[in-house]
């Protein structure tokens, strides 16, 4: 009734293929999320390191230091 590949039933091969695909997709998503979180931490650190410069009247202006790439 069902097909077989070697000695494994076709349903088992399909199930294992789906599981492996799901794991790969999850790993790719995890790596992308990790990279984005790293970038967010870097940008937050740059924002915190920006210095506030005030003029004599107490009005403040934010001056960012240039960052080499």
- pLDDT for 34 equals 96
Averaged pLDDT score across all residues of the chain: 79
Provide the Cα torsion 44, 50, 56, 59; round to 10°. Answer: -30
Give 11-41 pLDDT, tens digit per residue: 889 999 999 999 999 999 999 999 999 999 9
H helices, E strands: number in the chain: 1, 4
């Amino acid at each position: 009734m069902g097909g077989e590949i070697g000695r494994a039933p076709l349903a088992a091969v399909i199930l294992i293929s789906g599981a492996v695909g799901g794991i790969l997709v999850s790993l790719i998503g995890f790596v992308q999320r990790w990279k984005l979180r790293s970038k967010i931490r870097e940008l937050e650190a740059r924002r915190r390191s920006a210095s506030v410069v005030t003029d004599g009247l107490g009005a403040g202006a934010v001056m960012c230091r240039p960052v080499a790439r």
